[in-house]
Structure 1
C-alpha cells in the first residue's frame, strides 16, 4: 500500500513546480520580517534563529503556514520558553540544485541552527544520486563557510523503488553518509510513521495533513531538542 501511494509523487510534480514562485515570495517576506524585527531599537527579540531550508514538505503545501511542521516547532520552543525564532524557508518543487542556487540569499543574517530538508524532488526526477550528494554537500559547505558555528541538521528522505532497488538504496544512503562525513545531526526519515498512511496524507497521498505534520514535527523535534536544550 505504501508503495502505491508513494507513486503519486510523479503525478503531483508539476503542481509543486507551479507553487514555487508564490512560496518563494513567502520565504522572502518571512526572512525580511525577521530582519526588520531584529533591527528595531528598543524591541526585545528572540536572539537565536532556526532556519528550515526545504521543499513543499517544509513549506506545508496544501495547508496553512501555521499547520506546517516549522510553525509547530516554533510553538514547542515557545512553550518551553526557549529564545529561538523559526524561519520557514521551504519552497515547493525545490531540488538540491535549486537550493544550492538560493542558499546565499537566505544566509543574509546569522543562522544558529540550519535544518536541511532537500532531495525528494531529485529522486522523483531520477537525478543521479551522485549529483544530489554533491549539491547537498555544496549547501553544507556554504553554510559552514558563512558561519562555522551554525549547527546543521540533515533530514533524511526515502523514495519508492520505481527507478530500481539500486537507485532507491543509493538515494536513501546519501543522507546518513553525508551526516557521518560532516558530523551532522540526522533525522533518519522525515516522514517516518506518516508516508503511505492515507489518514495522515492529503488527497495526493504525498503531502501530510495537519495531523501528519504533527508527527513530522515530532520526528524533527526528537533530533532538534538535542541541539536547543
Structure 2
C-alpha cells in the first residue's frame, strides 16, 4: 500500500510557476486587489484547467532597464516560464528604442538563453508623435526579439481593448480615468485575448 501511494504521488504533475515581469500594466495599477492582470489571468487559467501559478512581478513605473536590474530577484530556481511585458515607461520617457531593445535582449538572454525557460513577450506600440523612425524601431523590436529567442509573442498589450478601430470608444469603456491603464473590464478583455497564449506558454514549460 505504501508503495502504491508513493507511485501515485510521483505521477502527479507539478504546478508550473510563471513569473510575470512587467510594469504597472502587469502590477494592476489603480485597481482593487484581485482585479488586476495577474489575478484575473490566474482565475482564467484555473477555470480552463491549466495547472499554473502566476507570480506578479510587476512594478509600477518600471522601465526595461528596471526590469533587467531586478531580474535575478524575480528569476528564482523554481520558475518554469516567464511573461515579459515591459516597454511602456520607456515610451513615456522617450527612451531610445535601441536602449530598450538592448535591455529586453539582456533579459531574454538570461531567461531563455541561460536558463532555457519558455517566454511570452508582450509588447506595446509606440504613438506616432515620436516620428516614424522611432515608431518603426520600437514596434519592430518585439517581433524581432521573439524570433531571435523563439519566444511566444503578443504584439500589443492594449490591442484587445480597441473596438472596431475606435480608440475613443476603447478609452471610454475599458480604460481608467488616466487613459493609460485598463479598468477591471479592460483587464478582462486582455486576459480573454491572451489567456490561450499563456496556456501555450505553460504547455511549453511542462516536462
TM-score by length of 1: 0.76
Q: Distance in 2 between matches of 1:47 and 1:147?
A: 18
Picking from 96, 103, 111, the partner of 2:64 is 96
Separation (CA, whole Å) in 2 of partners of 1:127 and 1:101: 16
Name the SS of the counterpart of 2:179 in structure 1: coil
User: TM-score scaled to structure 2, two decimals?
Assistant: 0.83
3-state SS in 1 of match to 2:160? coil
Q: Cα deviation per residue 1:130-161 (whole Å; 9 max; x = unaligned)?
A: 1110000001112135521x111100211211
Give the aligned CA root-mean-square deviation in angstroms. 1.9
d(CA) in 2 for partners of 1:169 and 1:145?
Answer: 26
Equivalent residue number for residue 180 of structure 1: 147
1:133 to 89, 101, 107: 101
Match of 2:22 among 54, 69, 84: 54
1:227 paired with 2:201, answer yes
Once the 2 structures are TM-superposed, how far is the Cα of residue 182 of structure 1 from its aligned partner?
Answer: 1.2
Q: Determine which structure has more spread, i.e. the larger CA radius of gyration.
A: 2
Alpha-carbon distance in 2 for matches of 1:152, 1:186? 9
Q: CA deviation at 1:106?
A: 0.8
After superposition, the C-alpha distances for 1:1-38 in whole angstroms (9 at most, x for unaligned) are xxxxxxxxxxxxxxxxxxxxxxxxxxxxxxxxxxxxxx
Match of 1:118 in 2: 86
Residue matched to 1:73 = 41
Secondary structure of the 2:82 match is strand
Partners of 1:65 and 1:46 in 2: CA distance: 27
- Counting matched residue pairs gives 185
